[in-house]
Amino acid sequence: MEARQRVEHALRHEPVDRVPFTVYEYKLPQCAAERALRNRGLCGVMRVSTYVTRRPNVKETQFTCRDGERTLVRRYYETPYGTLTTLHEPAGFTTWYRERMFKRPEDYAALLFYFQDEVYEPRNDWCLELQQNLGDDYIVRGGFGLEPLQTLITGVAFDIEDFCTEWMDRRDEILRLYDVIVAKRRLVYDMVAQSPVMHANYGGNVIPEIVSPTMFTQYYTPHYNEAAEAMHRSGKLVGCHYDDDCGPLAQVIGETDLDYVEAFTPAPDTDMTLHDARAAWPDKALWINYPSSVHLRTDEEVESVAFGLLDELDTCRGLLVGITEDVPEHRWRASFKAIMDGLDRHASEHPERY
């Protein structure tokens, strides 16, 4: 099977010759080791937005400065109700936010305008051309953005501590923003469903210490299900990026219409094993993140853990192993090879599970 075909089959719980091994596009530099891995069937995951977001009435400007060894970027968002600012630090493959938009209660009017001003334009031709150019050893994944409430928890609007304080002190203001974002998200469900991608993520990084099962059921589940309805009408799949401890939310995640759980990281790095996840979500494909801590072990242990993860399950259908976190530069070449060795050995020794 070609790498992309193997991923598509696994997401649909269809038979595969072996468990797919995937990696986010920017975590695999082009080199001889990367080429050898792709020749063995490694599939790159190219994450894109299938639509462009514009805010025609918000003027955005930014300035870059140096603070010792650090580069800092100050961004300004001018609205008719005041100017919002953020401060972030580019850090390799990620960005560290030092300040988010909300600074004081008077910022709510500008935040409301910022979210109300969003308009969207599909870019289907661009997505189709991208997939064609990447070929069969990459898969293109779409996205819906963060869930409406999660947009306010881990997006650019609020620092997490500020969100929690405002949720208790001025929840009506938070919910006004939430209602606007809900309406905006509904504008893109069909847009993503009608794009060339066969699957899309809807948010993620939900923190169970902040989002209780009751909050999840009220503020997350309905939006997953609306997006899933749109995607399913077009024969597409929708999933979510859950890489934190999932135990407290396992039941309510299982009650959603999501088709797959992406980036789930099994023990020893979180509070659930792969066996636990399959028991909690029997109808969902499990697209796991290989436990990050294990990359630091010997090659033999990395291979053994990969084999052992698969051996926890009675069937390997609906299972994918991915790399969704950074891996130490000195380890990824040997570790990725060892993971593929473990996956291939399991398929060879237990073909009946595929």
Domain-located, residue 221: yes
pLDDT of residue 28: 86
Q: Is residue 100 part of a domain?
A: no
Residue 162 lies in a domain: no
In a domain, 79, yes or no: no
The structure's pTM equals 0.96
Structural domain includes residue 291: yes
pLDDT score recorded for residue 216:
98
User: For residue 69, what pLDDT band results from cuts at 50, 70 and 90?
Assistant: confident
pLDDT surpasses 80 at 93: no
Q: Does residue 150 form part of some domain? A: no
Q: What's the chain's average pLDDT?
A: 97
Check residues 311 and 28 and name the one with the higher pLDDT.
311
Q: What pLDDT score was predicted for residue 220?
A: 98
Query: Tens digit of pLDDT for each residue in 257-308?
Result: 999 999 999 999 999 999 999 999 999 999 999 999 999 999 999 999 999 9
Range(s) of the domain holding residue 336? 3-54+119-144+188-353
List, for residues 158-207, the tens digit of each pLDDT value. Answer: 999 999 999 999 999 999 999 999 999 999 999 999 999 999 999 999 99
* 3-state SS string for the chain: CCHHHHHHHHHCCCCCCCCCEEEEHHHCCCCHHHHHHHHHCCEEEEECCCEEEECCCCEEEEEEEEECCEEEEEEEEEECCEEEEEEEEEECCEEEEEECCCCCHHHHHHHHHHHHCCEEEECHHHHHHHHHHHHHHEEEEEECCCCHHHHHHHCCCCCHHHHHHHHHHCHHHHHHHHHHHHHHHHCCHHHHHCCCCCEEEEEECCCCCCCCHHHHHHHCHHHHHHHHHHHHHCCCEEEEECCCCCHHHHHHHHCCCCCEEEEECCCCCCCCCHHHHHHHCCCCEEEEECCHHHHHCCHHHHHHHHHHHHHCCCCCCCEEEEECCCCCCCCHHHHHHHHHHHHHHHHHHCHHHC
pLDDT score at 187: 98
CATH number at residue 238: 3.20.20.210
What confidence tier does 26 reach under pLDDT thresholds 50, 70, 90? confident
